[in-house]
Amino acid sequence: MIKKVKNKLRRLKTKYSKISNTYFNKSQKQSDINRWSQQKSLFSSWDERTQLLASQVLPNSKVFEFGAARLVLKNMLPEDCTYLHSDIVKRNEETLVVDLNKELPKLPKVDYVIFSGVLEYVFEINTIIVHLSQFTNHFVLSYATTNTFANTSERRFHGWVSDLSESDIIAIAKALNWQSKIIGTWKNQTLFQFSK
């Protein structure tokens, strides 16, 4: 009995610590670099989502991925694609280190920009998309919308600092006069494609 109570208290402490950390990061408008520096924060279970996004890319395309994590997208792309990537910490020698909460990066012209499980951790999603639209013809992205993840505490527990609905995401594309479509879901996260 005592062991069960201790375990429950430990889980609650962990949960509230994560929520508090996210609220602090949100108040400071800063990214959780410590979290993303740790290999244990990168899960192979995310690969399925990455594969779904990769399936939207045409052969012979130039692709830029933000939040490359374990660098699995490169091997999921169609034939003869060029793969470039960025993350908040260096993943290999080719990684462009960018904190999307601090800077608007300049990119070479690419066919696709991909965000797999990234935009929930970005404060100014609209600003980033508008800025990057000058470098690409397509965005392929996932987002845990407030339509299916409405509870704010749960969002903060996951470390998510932005809270957009499906219609908010679509409105970003519409403001750019880009076409948008929902291409699927993954664990209740919505997968989108924007195209010029």
What value, to the nearest 5°, has the Cα angle with vertex 48 and ends 43 and 54? 115
User: pLDDT confidence of 21, banded at 50, 70, 90?
Assistant: confident
Tell me the average pLDDT across 68-83: 95
More confident residue, 116 or 19: 116
Q: Which of 73, 155, 76 is nearest to 84 (CA)?
A: 73
Q: Using CA atoms, how far apart are residues 188 and 149, in angstroms rounded to an integer? A: 8
Mean pLDDT (the chain) is: 92
The per-residue pLDDT for range 179-189, each reduced to its tens digit, is 999 999 999 99
Report how far apart, in Å, the C-alpha atoms of 93 and of each of 73, 106, 136, 161 are: 16, 19, 24, 29
Least confident of 24-28, 44-48, 95-99: 24-28
**Number of domains the chain contains:** 1
Cβ-count burial 162-188 (b if 16+ within 10 Å, e if not): bebeeebbbebbeebebebeebeebee
Amino acid 9: pLDDT: 56
CATH number of the domain to which 83 belongs = 3.40.50.150
The per-residue pLDDT for range 165-176, each reduced to its tens digit, is 999 999 999 999
Residues 6+ apart with CB under 8 A from 146: 155, 163, 164, 165
Residues 6+ apart with CB under 8 A from 70: 42, 44, 47, 91
Q: Are 115 and 144 in contact (CB under 8 A)?
A: no
Tell me the average pLDDT across 6-20: 69
DSSP 118: -
What's the whole-model pTM score?
0.90
Domain span including residue 32: 2-195
Residues 6+ apart with CB under 8 A from 129: 139, 172, 173, 176, 194
